[in-house]
Amino acid sequence: MNTNKKKVVIIGSGFSSLSASCYLAKKGFNVSLFEKNDTVGGRARQLITDGFTFDIGPSWYWMPDIFDRFFADFGKQTSDYYQLDKLSPAYKIFFEDDIITIGDCMEKISEEFERIEKGSSIHLKKFISKAQKNYDIAINEIVYRPGVSPLELVTKDTIIRLDQFFKTISQEVRKNFKNPKLISTLEFPVLFLGAKPSKTPAFYSFMNFADFGLGTWHPKGGMYQIIRAMKSLAQDLGVIIHTGSTVEKIIVKGGKASGILVNSEIIEADMVLSGADYHHTETLLDDSYRQYSEKYWARKTFAPSSLLFFIGFDKKLENIEHHNLFFDTDFGQHASEIYDHPKWPTRPLFYANFPSVTDESMAPPNNETGFFLIPIAPGLEDTPQLRDQYFDIIMKRFQTRTGQSVENNIIFKKSFCVNDFKEQYNSYKGNAYGMANTLSQTAFLRPGLKSKKIDNLFFTGQLTVPGPGVPPSLISGKLVSELMGKNI
């Protein structure tokens, strides 16, 4: 090891930390990463048991171009690490009286839209073409900027689209489509940004292009393959990874971070980067070095938490796809119970993922691996009774909508909710995927990548720039590494 190299310590091993570790190692820093859990990956870890493989966090592989860009920055391709398959169909949405299937190309999706609402495919084409332009602008002109100045958002393309920052995606969709099922279908992609469609700027329709234009993909073996790939890349670049290593304190001397305290041992560093939840990272500092008060965090719109179930079935299930949305209840009411009047949902929407439908490596032969997710408000009371109650609710609905009995075929069951998010990831209020991307929480208006109080302390991840989701986390790691490279 070259001891003259500047030393960076990184807290956490989620997508953003792993991404940053690769870029920093490539820049010539001596990088060590400290993760409290026993395996790397953060919210994207994997549970393997009894032949079932469960991704316990992200399951939608969207924006394949961002992953390609990440690996290309290191002279690699995703295919050097994992096999990527485009899902066909991409997903299925169950409504009370119908099922919408989203195909793997615009032609198939247009046909499905026509079936539901005559003439809607013409509006869809225009809507997606606008969304595609927004995608190009977002990816090429906005998201790869560090969020340090409002001017980053000002380009000739954004100026002529200014209205799209002040109209909401909800208004934009409703202007073009009347059928409630098509409206819900088109409002679904922005849910990944963590806020209600009625609070999300119309410009974010780029998520609709990510959905219909770029498609839904699956890395064979599950989403954890991306983490395995990044871990291997990081180690090849010289990053030293320590798991089972909880960072207890960020040590500050003379206004500079001089290292971290891990398992009662001081690890010295020239710069400290944290990819742990921003709020938690600030609690590792003495009060006077924190940038944001508890009041600040309490005022922010957080992405939902989730009640998750990992279920092993001893048979193949019927009438399902790899990804399935159950929008057979009132979208508006559930959203209001997450954001406006936080409480356990009266009639929850839910999502069910069965990766073994397309990838036989994910379950034992003739078995099915199931992941069920109910989005809920962060910070709700979480008890075993509530978990059981909601499991019964969604199982009944699942059986009715898919026309089969499955309750007696469950051979593995595990739940995960608010308390687990807090305990396993030090997540603020048990949020699942960070701080929402709304107009007032975008770019320079988000908590910054660089501390305003400590010159050599940096942050990355889904609570900072650019925002929640796996692709933004990869970008966040790149952005912060660039700032850190200039800090020397």
Ligand X SMILES: Cc1cc2nc3c(=O)[nH]c(=O)nc-3n(C[C@H](O)[C@H](O)[C@H](O)COP(=O)(O)OP(=O)(O)OC[C@H]3O[C@@H](n4cnc5c(N)ncnc54)[C@H](O)[C@@H]3O)c2cc1C
Kindly report the number of other CB atoms within 10 A of residue 145's CB atom: 18
Nearer CB in complex with ligand X: 124/241: 241
Query: Rounded to the nearest 10 degrees, what angle do helices 64-72 and 470-486 cross at?
Result: 30
Retrieve residue 464's tokens. 């900072």
Residue nearer to ligand X on the CB measure, 239 or 247 = 247
Q: Does 15 bind ligand X (CB under 6 A)?
A: yes
Structure tokens at 149: 């100045």
Contact 343, 307 (CB under 8 A): no
Closer to ligand X by Cβ: residue 32 or 59: 59
For CA atoms 62, 65, 66, 72, give the dihedral sign. positive
CB-based burial label for 222 (10 Å; 0-12, 13-18, 19+): buried
Q: How far is the CB of 406 from ligand X (least distance, A)?
A: 21
> Residue 475, CB half-sphere, CA atoms under 13 Å: how many?
25
Cα(105)–Cα(100) distance, rounded to whole angstroms? 14
Among the residue ranges 29-37, 147-155, 340-348, 478-486, the one whose residues contact ligand X (CB under 6 A): 29-37
Site residues (CB under 6 A) for ligand X, limited to 316-375? 373
Contact 471, 211 (CB under 8 A): no
- 219 touches ligand X (CB under 6 A): no
Q: What CA dihedral angle connects 175, 178, 180 and 183, to 10 degrees? A: -40
How many of the chain's residues bind ligand X (CB under 6 A)?
37
The nearer residue to ligand X, 124 or 269, going by C-beta atoms, is 269
Residue closer to ligand X, measured from CB, 124 or 138? 138
287 CB-near residues (< 8 Å, 6+ apart)? none
What minimum distance in Å lies between the beta carbon of 368 and ligand X?
A: 19
Total number of residues shown for the chain: 488
The answer to whether 91 and 322 have CB atoms below 8 angstroms apart is yes
**CA–CA separation, 117 vs 169, rounded Å?**
20
> In degrees rounded to 5, what are phi and psi of residue 296?
-55, -50
- Least distance in angstroms from the C-beta of 170 to ligand X: 22
Q: Candidates 123-131, 165-173, 442-450, 468-476 — which segment interacts with ligand X by CB under 6 A?
A: 468-476
The rounded radius of gyration (Å) of the Cα atoms in the chain is 22
Question: Within 403-442, which residues bind ligand X (CB under 6 A)?
Answer: 425-426, 432-434
Q: Is 35 a residue that touches ligand X (CB under 6 A)?
A: yes
Candidate residues 321, 468, 474, 478; the one interacting with ligand X per rule CB under 6 A: 468
How distant, in Å, are the alpha carbons of 83, 87, 180, 362, 436 from that of 204? 29, 23, 20, 33, 12
Q: Are 221 and 360 in contact (CB under 8 A)?
A: no
Cβ nearer to ligand X, comparing 43 with 130: 43
Tokens, residue 442: 């975008």
Binding of residue 36 to ligand X (CB under 6 A): yes
Which positions from 46 to 65 touch ligand X by CB under 6 A, shown as an x/- string? -----------xxxx-----
Q: Which is nearer to ligand X, 427 or 456 (CB)?
A: 427
Q: Which stretch binds ligand X (CB under 6 A): 13-21, 332-340, 377-385, 386-394?
A: 13-21
Could you tell me which stretch among 12-20, 74-82, 129-137, 155-163 binds ligand X (CB under 6 A)?
12-20
- Is 305 in contact with 381 (CB distance < 8 Å)? no
Residue found under tokens 């962060």: 378
Out of 8, 153, 193, 247, the only residue in the binding site for ligand X (CB under 6 A) is: 247
Rounded to whole angstroms, the Cα distance separating 95 from 261 reads 51
Residue in 9, 10, 42, 401 binding ligand X, rule: CB under 6 A: 42
Question: Least distance from C-beta 439 to ligand X, angstroms?
Answer: 20
Could you say which residues in the range 254-293 bind ligand X, by CB under 6 A? 275-276, 280
Q: Among 26, 43, 196, 231, which residue interacts with ligand X (rule: CB under 6 A)? A: 43
Residue ranges in 177-216 that form contacts with ligand X under rule CB under 6 A: none
304 binds ligand X (CB under 6 A): no
Binding residue (CB under 6 A) for ligand X from 158, 164, 200, 306: 306
Nearer Cβ to ligand X (170/437): 437
- Applying CB under 6 A, the residues found at the interface with ligand X are 11-17, 34-37, 42-44, 57-60, 246-247, 275-276, 280, 306, 308, 373, 425-426, 432-434, 461-462, 468-470, 473
